[in-house]
Structure 1
C-alpha cells in the first residue's frame, strides 16, 4: 500500500476563515430560479412561492454569500423589472440564455429568500447594456434610508428597512464575446472605475468586485486583469476569477489533478494584482473573489440544442448529473481555495439549484443531493477558525495535462475558541488506497469526533431522480488517533474529512 506523511504546524496559518469562502450563486438561468428555488404550486411552497424543501437543503449545504442575479443574465437585466407588484412586471427576452424571463422573482423576493436561508446577498449590476446611473439607482433602492425617491419606493413595496447589501459585482465576464455589451479591457476598466467611484461616493464602506478575465484559457487572461486594475485599483476591493472543470477524452488522471490549474490561476491573478499595486504605489492589497467555480461539462452542452432561440420560460439547461469523481475534484478545488484563503477572500459555487448544481429538483416532486453536495456541506460545517497549510510528503503520478501530480492533497483548520480542528484530504490514485499518517500533536486533539469519506467502487456512480441516494458519505473505517498521530487509509478516488476534538 502507498503511504503519505503529513505534518500540521499550528503556526503555519494561511488566514482566519471568512464564511464568504463558502458562497454560492443563483442566476436567472434554466431552472435555477423557476422550478428550482421558486415553484408556487409545489406542496412545500411558502406564501412567496419558495420551495421550503430546497430551503432546508440550502441550509444543510452551508452556502453563505449568494451572488445574484447573474452571471451572463445580468448584462441585459433591468433591475426595475423585478420590484413592485408582481402583476405589473413585464416579461422580457433574456438574450444571454435565449429564454423568457417572467420577473416574478426579483430583488424583493430574493431578499426574503436570503432571509429564509440565512444567506448574505451579493448583488451584480449591469455594465453590459447599462451603467453608472442604473447602478446608483439600484444602490439607492436597495440600501437607501427612507426619505429619497427610490428608497421610499422600496418602502412602498413593503421593505421598510434597507437591504444593506455590502458586496457588489461590477458586471460579469465583460471580456467574453458571448457577453451582451462585451468590451475591451480599456473600455471596461474605465466604466468599472467610474461606476465604482460613484458607488463609493454614495457609500465608502461598500465592497466592490471588478471583473477579471472570464477564464485562464482566454487570450485576454492576465493582460485583462492588468489593464482593468490600472484603471480601477483605487476604487475596488476584489477582482473576480471564474473557472470550470470537466473530464475530457477519458483522462481521469488529469481531471483528478484539476486543482493544480486552479492554483496556477490564483497565483497568476495575485501576481498581476500585486504588480499593479506596486506600479501604482498603493498600500491596498486586492483580494480575489472566485465567484464562479464548479464542475461543468461545457463541451457536451455546446454540442446540444438545449440553448436555442425558441424563447421558452425556464427551459432545462446545463443540468449536469455529477459522479463520485466529480465530487472528489470539487472537494479538492475547495481545499485549494482554503489553501489560498489569504488572497481568495470570497468564493461562489456556481450554481446552487438544477443548473450545474449540488441540489436538484423535479417540478411538483422531489429534491435531492448530488454527489458534489457532500464535500461542500461537510467542509462548510467543519472548517472553523483558522486555515493551516500542512506539509505533505507523498509520491506523485504522471498526468497528460499537468505533469507530475501529488497523489494526496490536504488542508486543515483549527478553532481556538472551541478547541476543535478538522483535516480534509483527497486521494487522486485510481487504483491504490493510501495510508496517511498525520502529525496533529500541535492541535491539542484528543479524539476523532467524525470521520467520513466519499468513495465508491465505481467512480462514475451518480445520484439521479430514479436513484437519489445511490452515492453518499460513508464512515472512514480504521481511522485512529494515538500519541498525536492521526492515521487514516484513503480509498482510491476519494475525498475525506476528519473532525478532531
Structure 2
C-alpha cells in the first residue's frame, strides 16, 4: 500500500496546549479507594497512597486532572470531605448506588495531585448544589485567610491556598440520568451566574460549561447553542464527552469513529462561532473534551449490576480490560485531538486508575499498565509544541460511520524549543503494509532518534497482573531518513511514534 505524507514547517494548525493530555478521576468504583488510595497496602506511603500506582501516573506526565466527578459531583457536598476523618459522614452516592466514606476529599486529593505533579481541575455541584455552594468552595480552596471558609481550611491544617485555576460548572447537565438535570436555558443561566461569581473572586480563573454528553444526545447540538447564548461572555470552555466501543466486531468501523469525533468537534466549533457572531462577542471559547475513552466491554453488565447491588463501598465497577485493538484506536484518537488542537485545548482521559483506565490495581495486590497506557504516554510525552498540517495520500475505505477514511492516520508535532519533529502514525489496514514516504519541507532532519511501535499482536490480546507487558511498545528499525525524506514500511494494524531531530 503506497502512501505519501507532506508537511511544511510553516503550515501549523495551532500551538498545542499541554493540557490536551490531562486526565479525570471520580469517586466511583475503585478509582480512589484501592486505586490511588489504599492504606495498609505494601506499597502505601505515609498518606495511604499507593506508590506503585503513583510511579505509573508520574510516567504519563499528566498536566491536569479533573476531580471529583463526573456524575458523582451532582449530589456531592464538598464539605463532607474536609476536616477530621473520624468526623466525616458516610453518604449514599446516588449516581453509582454505593457508599461514599469521604476518607479522601479535597485536601487529601490535593496532596496526591501535588506529589504526582498534576494541576487540579475542580468540578462544582450544579445538580443539588448551586452558586452559593460553589462560591464557598472557591473561598475554601483559593483564599489566603481571614474569612470563614479560608480559615476553616487553615484549621484543617492547610495554611496556603491551592490556587486552582480551572473550574467545571457541573457535569453532563444535558443528561436525564444526572441528579439535578436541567434544561439548556436553565442550566445556561445558572452556569453564567456561577461563572461570574467565581470570577468576581479571581478574574484569572477559567470556567468550563457543560456541553453535550455525547453526539447522539437528542438535544445535540441545540444544547450547545442554547447554553452558550446564556453564558458565552462569562465562560472560557465548553465540555464534550464521548465514549467508544466495537460491539459489532468491525475493526475498520471502530477506527472510523476517530473521524466521527473530528466531525463532533467541528460541529461544536461551528456553534461556538455562531453564538459569538450573534452576540457580537469579543472573547473566544474553546473546547474541553473532558471525558473520553473506550468503554463497552462490560458496560451492559455493569449497568445491570449497579441496579441490583445494595450500596457497597468501593465496588469493582467499569473495570474494562483493554486489548490491542483498543490501544490502536486510542493512538488514532489522540492523533485527532492533535489535529483539532486549534479548537480542543484541554482533554481528559476518563479515567486514570481502575475505572475505564490505563492503569489497573488489585486490592492488596499488584498494579499494571493496560494496553492503552502506551499510546496515551507517547502522546503526552511527545505531542507537545506545534501541531503541523499533514497532507496524506493513501487508499481509503467506507464504513457505517463515515466514507473515504484514510487507512493511514497521521499527526505531526514540532517542538521548536527542543528541535524535535514527532510523527504519530496508525496503519489501520487489516492486511497490508504501508510503504510510507514523507516530505518535510522547511526541515533538515538529522536521522531518527526514536522509533517506537505497537504491532504484531492478536487484536484481542490484553495485559494483566500475570502478563503486565504482553502488549507494550517495542523499538523499531523499519523507517529511515533518506534524501531529506522519512521512508518506512509500517506493518498492518500498527501504531508508530517516530522522532527526528530537525533544524
Report the TM range for the smaller structure's normalisation.
over 0.9
Please name the residue that 1:431 is paired with: 431
Deviation of residue 443 (structure 1)?
A: 2.7
CA distance in 2, matches of 1:172, 1:37: 22
Q: Relative to structure 2, which stretch is displaced further, 75-84 or 480-489?
A: 480-489
Please name the residue that 2:71 is paired with: 72
Kept in 2, the 8 Å contact 1:414–1:443? The answer is no
Runs of 4+ more than 4 Å apart: none
Kept in 2, the 8 Å contact 1:79–1:106? The answer is yes
Please name the residue that 1:365 is paired with: 365
Please name the residue that 1:210 is paired with: 209
1:396 corresponds to 2:422: no
Deviation of residue 41 (structure 1)?
A: 1.1
Kept in 2, the 8 Å contact 1:481–1:487? The answer is yes
Classify the secondary structure of the residue corresponding to 2:95: coil
Please name the residue that 2:50 is paired with: 51
Deviation of residue 273 (structure 1)?
A: 0.8
Change (3 A) 1:322 1:256: same
Please name the residue that 2:144 is paired with: 145
Report the TM-score, using the length of structure 1 for normalisation: 0.98
Kept in 2, the 8 Å contact 1:38–1:49? The answer is yes
- 1:323-348 per-position Cα deviation (integer Å, ceiling 9, x unaligned): 11101111111111111111101000
- 1:394-440 per-position Cα deviation (integer Å, ceiling 9, x unaligned): 11022122123110011111122221111101111111111111112
CA distance in 2, matches of 1:92, 1:393: 56
CA distance in 2, matches of 1:299, 1:234: 41
Please name the residue that 1:306 is paired with: 305
- 1:277-321 per-position Cα deviation (integer Å, ceiling 9, x unaligned): 000001111100000011111774357533234100010000111
Please name the residue that 1:231 is paired with: 230
Q: Relative to structure 2, which stretch is displaced further, 111-120 or 453-462?
A: 453-462
Please name the residue that 1:267 is paired with: 266
Deviation of residue 177 (structure 1)?
A: 1.0
Please name the residue that 1:333 is paired with: 333
CA distance in 2, matches of 1:257, 1:57: 30
CA distance in 2, matches of 1:254, 1:26: 29
Classify the secondary structure of the residue corresponding to 1:496: strand
Deviation of residue 451 (structure 1)?
A: 0.3
Please name the residue that 1:287 is paired with: 286
CA distance in 2, matches of 1:491, 1:258: 21
- 1:241-298 per-position Cα deviation (integer Å, ceiling 9, x unaligned): 0011100211111001211111011001000011000000011111000000111117
Please name the residue that 1:349 is paired with: 349
Please name the residue that 1:33 is paired with: 32
Deviation of residue 10 (structure 1)?
A: 0.8
Structure 1 unpaired stretches of 5+: none
Classify the secondary structure of the residue corresponding to 1:306: helix
Deviation of residue 3 (structure 1)?
A: 1.4
CA distance in 2, matches of 1:41, 1:60: 24
> Where in structure 2 are the equivalents of 1:120-139 lying within 5 Å?
120-139=119-138
1:470 corresponds to 2:499: no
1:485 corresponds to 2:463: no
> Where in structure 2 are the equivalents of 1:388-467 lying within 5 Å?
388-467=388-467
Superposed CA RMSD: 1.2
CA distance in 2, matches of 1:57, 1:448: 27
- 1:114-137 per-position Cα deviation (integer Å, ceiling 9, x unaligned): 111100100000000010000000
Q: Relative to structure 2, which stretch is displaced further, 454-463 or 107-116?
A: 454-463
Classify the secondary structure of the residue corresponding to 1:243: strand
How many residues of Structure 1 are paired with residues of Structure 2 in the alignment?
500
CA distance in 1, matches of 2:412, 2:78: 41
Report the TM-score, using the length of structure 2 for normalisation: 0.97
